[in-house]
Each structure stands twice: as structure tokens, then as C-alpha cells.
Amino acid sequence: MKPRLCWFYIRARARNSMKSNGSGIMGLSIRQIADLAGVSRGTVDRALNNRPGINPQVKAKILALAAETGFRTNRAGKILGIRKTPLTIGIQMPSIGNEFFREVRCGIDRAAAELADYGLTLSIREMKGFSVGTQITQIRSLLAEGVNGLALAPVDHPDVIALLEDLAAARIPVMTMNTDIAGGPRLGYVGNDYTRSGAIAAGILGLMTDGRPLRTLIVTGSKQVLGHNQRISGFCQAIRQRYPQISILDILENQDDDRRSGQIVREALARWPEIDAIYLTAAGVAGACQACQEFAGGRQIERQVRIVCNDQTPGIMPYLLDGTIAASIGQEPFRQGYEPVRLLFEYLLDGTLPPPLTLTRNEIMIYEHFFKEAL
């Protein structure tokens, strides 16, 4: 089931076809235009809103600056109004204990800093793992604070979908980030094309086999996360269509936790010492790598297990550089934090609707990606 727009999102999309400009989040601020023109912010406001009481030459200069810098004159009054009644965006994400979200948080913080002059504030809730109850509790706490909109990485569960239905009925806009939700109403999604990412992982392993059988273990974060399931789906589709020599021994969940990941990989290697490859769809990569190194060091396996994973976190990099990881697939985490805040702010400002899908780039990373000078 595809995510959908509820009726009030559809009506808003029909009313408004404006798109954000390419000059930062909002071009220059009113204050910056005032500084450039050598006038007060009130004078800029009068010029942009065609109010009386301003020298025609000064007005022309301000309008020229606004045009050159991409400032949207039809937003000026609304921006000044927002400064008097600030907007608050709530953020909820499963970031505790997951290094990937550090870069997502950097993107969130950058967008918040750029929009601070326009009166935007953020309220952030974080959790460890994928507890439906914790996510719902944290969302409700944000609503109790009176947030104007939400950006979240949802657990794909009927109770979360039901809550999003309630938010849509209350006209509280929601952006999903990093992972989407099947069938839940939302304003838009910013994140990875997970199905393609999974297919790329299968292609990497397929090219390594040279047609020989490859017995593969899949370690995923949670089967309640749509993105993780989509990666598995893309992987399976690719091996059916192009790489039938790849077989899947099992699909195990690690809850994005390194300790849990190490434990289940050790158990899997003991059960299937013939494992040729491990595909990790989410976090917990360092724990899995440690387990593989322990087995190799103890001579319990005679060959190196090929590992393909995702992202470029501090915990992954040492294993990518020492050859434990054959390849990792990046997904622009900074953008996954930055864009939802920007897009949600613009919607709250004047109803500008974002694209339903804003997909981040898949980037294959291998050892040589970081050491080109050694070639």
C-alpha cells in the first residue's frame, strides 16, 4: 500500500503550485536585505508590501535586492507575522544508540539555525529502537506542547497509522523522514530509495561471485520499519531476476543495536559456518563485523565473509578501511534531516506543498573511494 495524501493536503496542493527557490532556505532574510540597502526592516517591509511612506529610489533598490537574492516578496508580511507568533516543529526519531542519526541531526540543526531569524523553533524527541508505544507517547507529548507540524521516522504499524489519521483530521501536517509509512497520510517523504538500495547491494554481491553460489545472511533492523523491509524486497527482487546463485539462509533482526547484532551473527556463524556473505540493511554493522572477525581469528571459518552494508558512520569506517566490509551504500543522512524541516516550514508559512517524495542519492562506497591518492 502506498502512502497517501489526506483530503486537506490534496486541496492545498491544488491551490498552490509554488516551489521553493534555490537560494538557501528562504533567500536572504529581511534583516539581511535591510543591511545591504542601509535601511530599517520596517522600510524593507513597506517596499516589499507596496505600502506608502518610502522614497521611490530606496524602494526600487530594495526590490532589486530582493529579486537578485531570491527573496519571495509575497512572503514578506507572513514572515514578519511569524516572528511575532513563532512556529514550532516537532521532531521524533529512533536516534538513541544509532550513529547514523548524528548526521541527520546535523541537518536538522542546520535548517533550524537558518530559520531561527524567521521565528522557527524545534522540539525534539528521541528513542532507542522501534517501540510503537514509545513513539506514540513521544508524538503525543509533542502535540501537548502545541507544535504546528511534525517530522518523524515512523514505525510501520497500524497504531502509528491511526495516530497519523488523527493528525490529518486535526490538520497538523506531518513529514516522514528517513523512512516512510505504508498507507499513512503525510505531507511528503524525505529519505532513501530503499528498494533500489537493496537491489544495489544484491548487485555488488552478485558481481563478487563470478557465478558461484553465495550463501547469504540478511541482518535487518526491524521488520516494523518500512525502509528496512523495502531494502530486503529490493535485494530479493534483484537476486531472482539477475543473481540466482545468491541464496538467503535467514533474515534476522538486530533492532539497530550493535550488541544484539554481534550476538545474532555469532549464533548464525555457529549454525551455518558455510555463510559466504552478510547483508545488513540498517545499523548494528560494527557488532556484526566484530563477530565475523572473531570467527576468522579463531580459525572457525577458513575464508572471509563478504559484508555489504549501508552508510558511512564512525563505527563503520574502520571496517571498511581494513577490508572487513566489502562495500557500503550511502544515503545522504544530512539531507534527510535538513529537507523535512525546510519543507515543513515553507508549508506552514504559506501552504507551499513539497513533492510527495524527495529521494536521497544512493552512493556505493569502497576502500578506494577514500584513498584515491594511493592508486
Residue of higher predicted confidence among 361 and 86: 361
Predicted local distance difference test score (pLDDT) of residue 26: 55
Residue 369 has pLDDT above 90, yes or no: no
- Torsion angle of C-alpha atoms 263, 267, 273, 278, degrees rounded to 10: -50
pLDDT in tens, 42-63: 898 888 878 888 998 999 998 8
pLDDT band at 375 (very low <50, low <70, confident <90, very high): low
Q: Which of 282, 287, 255, 283 is nearest to 268 (CA)?
A: 287
Is residue 25 in a domain? no
Predicted local distance difference test score (pLDDT) of residue 361: 96
pLDDT band at 338 (very low <50, low <70, confident <90, very high): very high
Predicted local distance difference test score (pLDDT) of residue 42: 85
Q: Tell whether 209 and 286 lie within a shared domain.
A: yes
The total of structural domains in the chain comes to 3
Q: Tell whether 355 and 321 lie within a shared domain.
A: no
Is residue 220 in a domain? yes
Is residue 289 in a domain? yes
Predicted local distance difference test score (pLDDT) of residue 13: 42
59: which residues sit within 8 A by CB, 6+ positions away?
46, 47
pLDDT band at 136 (very low <50, low <70, confident <90, very high): very high
> Which structural domain range is residue 245 located in?
194-330
Residue 341 has pLDDT above 50, yes or no: yes
| Cα–chain center distance at 336 | 3
Full-prediction pTM beyond 0.85?
Answer: no
CA gap 260, 265 in Å, rounded: 9
Cα distances (angstroms) measured from residue 246 to each of 30, 63, 73, 208: 58, 62, 57, 11
Q: Tell whether 123 and 176 lie within a shared domain.
A: yes
Q: Tell whether 13 and 128 lie within a shared domain.
A: yes
Predicted local distance difference test score (pLDDT) of residue 197: 98
User: Which secondary-structure segment (H or E) carries 250?
Assistant: strand 246-253
pLDDT in tens, 244-256: 999 999 999 999 9
Q: What is the mean pLDDT of residues 297-307?
A: 71
Residue 313 sits in a domain whose CATH number is 3.40.50.2300
pLDDT band at 150 (very low <50, low <70, confident <90, very high): very high
Q: Tell whether 143 and 229 lie within a shared domain.
A: no
Q: What is the mean pLDDT of residues 328-332?
A: 97
CA angle 165, 332, 194 (to 5 degrees): 55
Q: What is the mean pLDDT of residues 160-186?
A: 96
Is residue 250 in a domain? yes
Q: Tell whether 58 and 95 lie within a shared domain.
A: no
Q: What is the mean pLDDT of residues 260-283?
A: 97
Q: Which of 72, 141, 142, 113 is nearest to 342 (CA)?
A: 113
SS3 274: coil
Which letter does DSSP use for residue 369 in this model?
A: H
pLDDT in tens, 198-223: 999 999 999 998 889 999 999 999 99
- DSSP assignments along 206-237, one per residue: HHHHTTS-EEEEEEES-TT-HHHHHHHHHHHH
Residue 179 has pLDDT above 80, yes or no: yes
Q: Tell whether 151 and 292 lie within a shared domain.
A: no
Q: Which of 78, 76, 44, 46 is nearest to 62 (CA)?
A: 44
Task: Write down the mean pLDDT value for the chain.
Answer: 88
Predicted local distance difference test score (pLDDT) of residue 374: 47
pLDDT in tens, 94-108: 999 999 999 999 999
Q: Tell whether 149 and 201 lie within a shared domain.
A: no
